[in-house]
Structure 1
């Protein structure tokens, strides 16, 4: 949920953004240029109220988007606190929906794990009638299917990440020369596609066969969700590792120092050497979401006061951003996600893109 979604920007675009590519799930009105169309819907908000709301297609002037608006007075989710939360909209039919707002990091992760959906650029779709992977570049599709065909058990998370990287290098011209921000986003997205292919190939027949008991069903379900959960965080860390390695920046991943931070630059040995300059040490936390999980970084790498937190959270409120800055933590976020962050953060040095962070580290490490 972005600042526009919750109405804190005062923009005429206020209202929950709905993805144009999924319009058939929530309105009968196609995205046609030159017209505005409204569709009245009933939404049951879990634990709160029912609203008569409107899905509006804006197709005139410079606008080209769907928005969900009209929630009545004192609607609790129109508040700065909920920026960065996850809105889950479940269609019962084209005019009736159930809605859930998840505002805890663990709940946001669990929802994505349970549905097998990853949200990086602000939204995602779960459609159980369409399990097939979206079409990709032919070379990339061939590589991913080739990898899948050669296995009969789940590869490790590291193997998924490595295969994804090699496929991108071989199939995407100039991939190795993309910005660090682009490589992380592209790597994560492509690895997710690969994971879904393998999961469908290995787990699909088990699910289709059925289960002899509830215990067997629970065991298989737990195995699937645990695998999804562990892969999601590990994937992000792996693509950060690749990016640092490409930039020839020395680092250690989850070193055994003061609470095991995700990354230390240049090394644990340098961190433990009290003659090594503190201004050349970097402690980095990495989490896909950051509503509260950034706080654990405060107890990691305690020799260094200023920390860095990398995240893929697509939106952040002024309130949360200020809390992070006040704790002497600087955010590092792929540049394509910056539009969901406070304007003041974008204009200042408090919000860094990945490539700017790398440039800063290089300059600091230069002797």
Structure 2
């Protein structure tokens, strides 16, 4: 989450009253209207006034607005009620104001009342940031262009925690299986933040990382519940302490090793890709994913150019060599990893052995610049598979 987005969310949560709307052509003056300035919905007068404007008169007040937590304007909120006009506008920003241009049309404007005369405002211009803002505050698309209801504030995280708690109470065993843990963490996150299939398909790299983080949070909730009292009690022997510690560590490793595979499967399901997971190939090897199917792989008449293999490893600096003989019919081995950064020498060696890295898009910048064009994002890889399966 970037800094401006995070500050916008926090400002809404901490403010007395907050408002959001999409910036329109009418706001910027692109429609040829008599005046530029943000139009504020009639029902949102409480953002600035104690009483609504009265038809037949104008009234205004001046306020200080801090934009993007960077610079301030002395702006004017005015109700135009004389003649045929009946509208509220926020005006006066100065000549160099950067958020009333044609390119701002479609951006999300957020205004938060901090004190009676001081406000904070943010402009979000990226689709991902706007969707993240709405999801974090659980704001429906029907609640844009108006006051953000208090019941929508701080509910997404609360819903996620409540979902984790409900799952913990439902457990009959000490720990769920890895797939049960992954599925429930993902469902809790999706339901709490309003994540739909359309959103997943628009940004699979981002949502995959969110799912992995949510599962880690859920695992910690369960782990703390199961082990807090044991750790706080006395261990009779060093051996008893070691056994408990090893149990905890081994369970952590087991979960982390399967987590990535489970969530990748769900991504592929969302895109309706044909694949088989853990299909036995030569030498009893089991690639994590074969596209389109394991049956296709074992059919000697199936075109090898349409066969794709993907291995998944959270880290791969040393373990990437393990995948080289997992599917002999497939020359190029694709490897998805959460590893952030690999040396140029190691990357050269990987490509010499026909290993193509796939990483989450946000991690791409952590790799040496000369290799970035050769590394696929998850979205790139999905498009490659879809193209292959469409032929």
Q: Tell me the TM-score normalized by structure 1.
A: 0.61
Query: Who is 1:321 aligned against?
Result: 347
**1:142 shift after superposition:** 1.1
Q: Does 1:237 align with 2:261?
A: yes
Q: Does 1:273 align with 2:299?
A: yes
- Per-residue deviation, residues 135-182 of structure 1 (Å, max 9, x unmatched): 971111111122122225111111110001111221112353131111
Greater length-normalized contact order (CA 8 Å, ≥ 6 residues apart): 1
How is 1:54-133 mapped onto 2 (pairs within 5 angstroms)? Answer: none
Q: Which has the larger displacement, 352-361 or 202-211?
A: 202-211
Find runs of 4+ consecutive structure 1 residues off by over 6 angstroms: none
Secondary structure of 1:299's match?
Answer: coil
Distance of 2:243 and 2:375 partners within structure 1:
43
Query: Who is 1:195 aligned against?
Result: 219
Q: Does 1:344 align with 2:370?
A: yes
Contact conserved, 2:156 with 2:192, CA < 8 A, in 1?
Answer: no
Unaligned runs of 5+ in 2: 1-154
Query: Who is 2:208 aligned against?
Result: 184
Distance of 2:195 and 2:175 partners within structure 1:
30
Query: Who is 1:142 aligned against?
Result: 162
CA separation of 1:136 and 1:314: change in aligned 2, threshold 3 A: farther
Query: Who is 2:316 aligned against?
Result: 290
Contact conserved, 1:148 with 1:198, CA < 8 A, in 2?
Answer: yes
Distance of 1:142 and 1:169 partners within structure 2:
13
Distance of 2:156 and 2:347 partners within structure 1:
36
Secondary structure of 1:264's match?
Answer: strand
Q: 1:250 aligns with which of 265, 271, 274?
A: 274
**1:268 shift after superposition:** 1.2
Contact conserved, 1:330 with 1:351, CA < 8 A, in 2?
Answer: yes
Root mean square deviation of aligned Cα:
1.7
Query: Who is 1:305 aligned against?
Result: 331
CA separation of 1:288 and 1:139: change in aligned 2, threshold 3 A: same
- Aligned positions, number: 232
Distance of 2:191 and 2:156 partners within structure 1:
14
**1:261 shift after superposition:** 1.2
Query: Who is 1:356 aligned against?
Result: 380
Query: Who is 2:251 aligned against?
Result: 227
Query: Who is 1:153 aligned against?
Result: 174
Q: Tell me the TM-score normalized by structure 2.
A: 0.57
Unaligned runs of 5+ in 1: 1-134
Contact conserved, 1:168 with 1:175, CA < 8 A, in 2?
Answer: no
Secondary structure of 2:309's match?
Answer: strand
Q: Does 1:210 align with 2:230?
A: no
Contact conserved, 2:156 with 2:193, CA < 8 A, in 1?
Answer: no
**1:237 shift after superposition:** 0.9
Secondary structure of 1:286's match?
Answer: strand
Q: Does 1:162 align with 2:201?
A: no
Contact conserved, 1:175 with 1:183, CA < 8 A, in 2?
Answer: no
**1:214 shift after superposition:** 2.4
Secondary structure of 2:340's match?
Answer: coil
